[in-house]
């Protein structure tokens, strides 16, 4: 004969003072777990949201990121007029040769300094990235040492308002506009003219090429041609696939979240165990009465496990609610691919909340197991005689 679930719910409500600390402890563990995982999810989404399936990215073979890649001007000329590349209304190929440079800039206040990724880009390159929109000011004019910065970088770095000037490497650049990358990797970039950036930062070659293909079949043909051409030691892939490969920065953050959750869950398990042992001690006669009424040992065991899981589930719900306060909050970290500041937002997804609840229930069951076994093994006569 199984004990009704209302019995466990009423026990939790009656002994709310004893169980409140356990619930809050588990809530804290779940909140930390969900928050750190939300950081990794946000970082992943900023990369996986980036790119257009119609675009192909070309970098040096063997390079892991644009910042470590080189594409020569001769290689650019060879690729420029491949028949698979789409053309605009003026019959010009839709291809952008980009220059990626790391510059060190001061943060706002006393936040120190950090590397920022400056991308030299052609006017065609702006059109190839429809996710990016200008929200303030105007686009840069080639030859005038003008830049456009992302809105999220403008909130974190000094001298990034429209009209401001900042120096890097002895060169003064003027901010003419603010752009919004719409939660993509472009939220972590500064843009200026490609050839001007090559001249200012003494770069002979380009870092990468971005081009628009005619269709999916043309994309496969072009990628195969570049990969097999011995004159071109280059690697071509879909722009979407390239940015998906740039999510390695999220791996150590996820590991940190799992490590913290594991360490804190040990304390939460002992807290749950202490609460359930106290509950067993206070309900010894009650347990004996249940046995006299015909309830079996396994029913009492299951009842205490359910009660522990219920307590933990409440704590898990609270932890998920606490973590919602950081959803969408913008933060920055160093990218292990480009070694520059990467700006992204915390992203708490429904699946992440479910994982937090599952984690809390597991903590509750593990913490209740030993007290539940003790309760199930109590001798009936000894339980009834206890005071």
**Do 262 and 205 share a structural domain?**
no
Q: How many CB atoms lie within 10 A of CB 58?
A: 27
Residue 364 CA, chain-centre distance (Å), reads: 28
List the pLDDT tens digit at each of the 387 positions of the chain: 555 556 666 666 666 666 777 788 788 888 888 888 887 777 777 777 788 889 999 999 888 788 888 999 899 988 988 899 999 888 889 999 999 998 888 888 776 888 889 999 988 999 999 999 999 999 999 989 999 999 999 988 999 999 999 998 788 999 999 999 888 889 889 999 999 999 888 888 999 999 999 998 999 999 998 888 888 899 999 998 888 877 665 566 667 667 766 777 777 777 767 776 766 666 666 666 666 666 677 777 777 788 788 888 888 899 899 988 888 777 766 665 666 667 777 888 888 899 889 988 888 888 877 777 777 776 666 555 554
**Do 222 and 139 share a structural domain?**
yes
Q: Does residue 361 lie within any of the structural domains?
A: yes
Could you give the CA distance from residue 328 to residue 344 in angstroms, rounded to a whole number?
9
Q: Whose structure tokens read 């003072």?
A: 17
Partners of 104 in the beta sheet?
A: 115
**Do 216 and 79 share a structural domain?**
yes
Could you give the CA distance from residue 102 to residue 331 in angstroms, rounded to a whole number?
19
Domain count, the chain: 2
Q: Output b/e per residue, 282-309; b: 16+ Cβ within 10 A.
A: ebbeebbebbeeebeeeebbbbbbbbbb
Range of the domain at 148: 62-232
Could you give the CA distance from residue 301 to residue 339 in angstroms, rounded to a whole number?
54
Q: Does residue 118 lie within any of the structural domains?
A: yes
**If DSSP codes are grouped into helix, strand and coil, which group holds residue 105?**
strand
**Do 358 and 291 share a structural domain?**
yes
Contacts of 88 (CB under 8 A, 6+ apart): 94, 124
**Do 228 and 273 share a structural domain?**
no
Q: Does residue 140 lie within any of the structural domains?
A: yes
């Amino acid at each position: 004969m199984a004990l009704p679930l209302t019995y466990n719910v009423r026990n939790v409500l009656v002994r709310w003072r004893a169980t409140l600390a356990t619930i809050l402890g588990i809530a804290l563990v779940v909140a930390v777990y969900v928050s750190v995982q939300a950081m990794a999810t946000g970082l992943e989404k900023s990369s996986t949201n980036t790119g257009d399936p119609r675009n192909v990215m070309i970098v040096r073979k063997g390079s892991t990121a644009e910042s470590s890649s080189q594409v020569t001007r001769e290689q650019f000329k060879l690729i420029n007029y491949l028949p698979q590349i789409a053309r605009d209304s003026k019959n010009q190929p839709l291809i952008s040769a980009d220059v990626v440079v790391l510059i060190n800039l001061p943060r706002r206040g006393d936040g120190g300094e950090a590397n920022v990724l400056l991308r030299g880009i052609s006017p065609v390159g702006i059109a190839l990235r429809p996710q990016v929109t200008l929200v303030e000011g105007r686009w840069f004019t080639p030859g005038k040492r003008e830049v456009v910065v992302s809105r999220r970088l403008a909130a974190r770095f000094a001298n990034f308002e429209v009209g401001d000037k900042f120096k890097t490497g002895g060169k003064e650049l003027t901010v003419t506009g603010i752009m919004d990358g719409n939660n993509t990797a472009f939220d972590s970039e500064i843009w200026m003219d490609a050839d001007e950036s090559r001249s200012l930062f003494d770069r002979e070659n380009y870092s990468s090429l971005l081009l628009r293909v005619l269709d999916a079949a043309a994309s496969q043909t072009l990628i195969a041609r570049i990969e097999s051409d011995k004159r071109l030691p280059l690697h071509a892939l879909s722009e979407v696939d390239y940015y998906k490969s740039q999510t390695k920065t999220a791996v150590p953050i996820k590991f940190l979240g799992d490590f913290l959750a594991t360490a804190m869950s040990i304390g939460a398990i002992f807290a749950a165990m202490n609460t359930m042992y106290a509950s067993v001690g206070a309900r010894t006669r009650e347990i004996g009465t249940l046995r006299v009424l015909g309830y079996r040992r396994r029913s009492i065991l299951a009842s205490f496990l359910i009660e522990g899981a219920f307590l933990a589930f409440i704590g898990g719900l609270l932890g998920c609610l606490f973590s919602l306060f950081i959803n969408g909050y913008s933060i920055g970290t160093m990218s292990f691919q480009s070694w520059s500041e990467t700006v992204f937002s915390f992203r708490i997804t429904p699946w992440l909340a479910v994982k937090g609840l599952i984690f809390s229930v597991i903590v509750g069951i593990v913490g209740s197991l030993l007290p539940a076994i003790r309760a199930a093994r109590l001798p009936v006569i000894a339980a009834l005689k206890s005071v």
